[in-house]
Amino acid sequence: MRKFTYLAILVCASGSASAQSQVDVYGIADLGVHYSRGMNAGNTPVSGASVGSNLALNSGVNNTSRWGFKGQEDLGAGVAAVFQLEGGLNFDTGTSAKPDKLFDRLSFVGIKSNYGSLTAGRQATILSDAISSVDPLGMRYASFNPNINITALSNTAFGTHAFGVQYGSSGYADNYYRLDNMVKYTLETGPYTVRSSYSFGEVAGNNSALSSVAAGLTYQRDGWSVSGASMKLKNSAGFNLQAYTLGVAYQYGDLVFRANAGDNSAETGPGKQTRQRIASAGVAYSINPELNLTTAYYRVRREASTYSDDGFDRSFIYLEQALSKRSMLYAETDYTSWRGNAAGITAGQANSGRGLGLSLGLMHKF
């Protein structure tokens, strides 16, 4: 711990040692008191025979708690070297979001210029980049947001339709939102943002295993945003996971309308396939400069070989009151209706088909 403290001091000091270099320490602290019924503290459905209320203190109900370092150095001629390190935090327990990765969210270095940026390391996928401007919930509640979980493949482990294996170089089964060993190129030109990426699987003797390739395009002008991406990932056996997303957003005065559609299909074995389709829409309204209301609805439908179709419908309402430029109070409510066996089974008993959540929290950015 002492060595890490010294390292942090040296990193911060280096940012002020040169006029051409800059290093920033930043983060988000988000904690909320969360009430749920039909779900446990982690929003997982509970047995229908023991449905009751649950009260917990949860981290990241609005925006994922995190900390990180980012910086750049001017190399001249409009070229700069950049880096970023970012790790998720559980503010309710003081632990890292991923105990096996200190910087589980981002860990990359690269070069940027007028011709775009080229970065390499652990990075968010182009699917996640594409939905950021068109997600109806505005990327809130990452652990429970279907566009983050399913469209961008952050958590596909729902009941019998879970993929169950690792696709791409994420290091985890059923979670491919961020990938290791990724090279990403981003170019902003006029109203367009062009993205492409490739991640190395690094499997000895098989260069294609656990690899991924992706491309995306975003257009933003006059209050409009249209954003889409396509991505193909492989598992260690060479089976494919193909994912797509396309969304639109439009701002009209104090109102913002957002809608998005996602579709992914995974080869889970010889002759076996799982497909997920996600449709979402929502409206955000700025009641005044300090008070904002956001509503969102998500429809998820899933098909898998040898299993019955299932899915769920989920809706959210967020009310946020700014206390300052960095601090915010928020209230949140969500309702989920699971279909088929999406809710799963506990001890031989079907889980509850309905889930209700209520939260009151505080978020501070530093």
Q: What is the pTM of this model?
A: 0.92
> Residues with Cβ < 8 Å from 14, sequence gap 6 or more?
21, 23
Is residue 21 predicted with pLDDT exceeding 80?
yes
Is residue 197 predicted with pLDDT exceeding 80?
yes
Please tell me the predicted confidence (pLDDT) of residue 17: 42
Percent of the chain with pLDDT over 90: 84
For the segment 293-321, the average pLDDT, to the nearest whole number, is 96
**DSSP H helix total and E strand total for the chain:** 3, 20
Confidence of residue 52 (pLDDT cuts 50, 70, 90): confident
- Count other C-beta atoms under 10 Å from residue 323's C-beta: 12
> What's the CA dihedral at 106, 135, 126, 193 to 10 degrees?
-110
Is residue 4 predicted with pLDDT exceeding 50?
no
Q: Each residue of 72-113: pLDDT tens digit?
A: 999 999 999 999 999 999 999 999 999 999 999 999 999 999
Q: Report strand pairing: 272-288 vs 192-199.
A: unpaired
DSSP letter at 271 equals: T
- The answer to whether the beta carbons of residues 122 and 136 sit under 8 Å apart is no
Q: State residue 191 phi and psi, 5-degree precision.
A: -80, 0
Is residue 345 predicted with pLDDT exceeding 90?
no
- Is pLDDT larger for residue 21 or for residue 221? 221
Q: Each residue of 245-280: pLDDT tens digit?
A: 999 999 999 999 999 999 999 999 999 999 999 999
Please give the Cα distance from 209 to 217 (Å, whole number): 26
